[in-house]
Structure 1
């Protein structure tokens, strides 16, 4: 991939938007779910907390990618290259696992409300979250393998002397990398997406046939389901399709960087999914919004109340009222 000014500006715009919108929303979500887990946790709270932590780690390492885009080459210490790439890709696939687990949790809660409620245990959600982290990080360790692979080759360039990060691959490296990418598509995207589709299609079907549920709650739950499926389609699908194209054509597609940009939106879209999933988060967002509105508009109201012109007008109205009453 060759950096251009237009590509650099595009990457900076997308990453900057994701950072500005995703960071405060995920911090609010972290505070909410941490308090919820401390008080009385449910499997859903544990999954949402783990996913929020994953998104925040992703956002923390995003500035490294922004620096690379701004300079149009890798200028930072090279050990940060595989580290930032490893975190970048691991958290993306970690999100697919967590979103799928949330869909399973929602489906089981609606399809088997009594039976599943008796067996719900936050500990199982904690174990599942740990497994998700381990599996996604184990698969994405390929980043480290590729960055330091083929040292014995005389044509191999020392990593510390490169000005690119996880972009240029030799034929020997592609023989290892392309099959791994295909496995990422099958195991870390395709399987979770199919499970998520099944769970939410059944979830929507069951809710649509339950007249006892409040219409507002039904629409909110359906919105969460459709929002999650859209995240898979918009954020994760383009990048994972590039794995298939690369495997079939036996090369690394140069448009992968554009497909990867959509994956970053996941970090700022997740809190909106959380909003539909958690009443506690809805309450936190509502309180913060009310406080911001109060602090924004109260000074304006006070300035209006103490405006000399308004005071004069009120004095005139008072005088006129007194005159009218005396008449």
Structure 2
């Protein structure tokens, strides 16, 4: 049996029949990390709040380690003591140092246990040399480590993060992602985090759930979604910049359907070659190591990556072909 089992989960907007979360099914094993990936406004945060027991659901069931996560409408106080939700703003006490922040979730335990657990958390999260500092004296990554330590203090069964890396310096983010994964590997904590950044999901997650307008489009291992997207929305998130109709594009030798192809997987030539079709060069974006050529063929737009920067920007025509093995059939709506 799965450690977390979500069945037919539906959430409606408050005082409305508008459905925000649409009949979602999810399952996780203990110790897995799941990324919920989607654009802003796709329902990611609403889903997290419902999973945490803080937001009422209109139907469906959530089981954590075989126990139901009780809907807040059936409880005096919303939430679940076995689930910790970490918000984007870290929710640290600004006038308390790290040790004092860590004492708060442990306030109902003995002084001896507090000292033991805080020492353990400081070591786990790499904060020993920061323990006396106030939040304003910390970097974004250090604040996030404190938030993680606070969330782990009472050893929750499930840890939920809402856009946990949005405030991090891009230059330091990659190192922190690896540290984040190492922390939860050591504790075998089951983690769900939401993000709109593919790189975060690819680096950290054991599984990714692609969400759009409150609906889960696909769930799978990162490589599975990268190599075999089922929907055009998923394909575009994972770098398939071209979505083409077989009926409308002469570049695709198929009877029908829609196909996704990466810009770097379209073959190109500055001169006419057998099997290549002529396109009009509209614009070139030079990005140093490579260029992106934006093309037009019979009112159909294409993007092609030129890894060798061999096509001159002043050139009017580029000849292209799409190898059939590079096409991925996708649904579209």
TM-score computed with the length of structure 2 as normaliser: 0.26
Give 1 or 2 for the bigger CA radius of gyration. 1
Compare relative contact order (CA 8 Å, sep 6+) and give the higher one, 1 or 2. Answer: 1
TM-score computed with the length of structure 1 as normaliser: 0.26
The structure with the largest strand share of the pair is 2
The structure with the largest helix share of the pair is 1
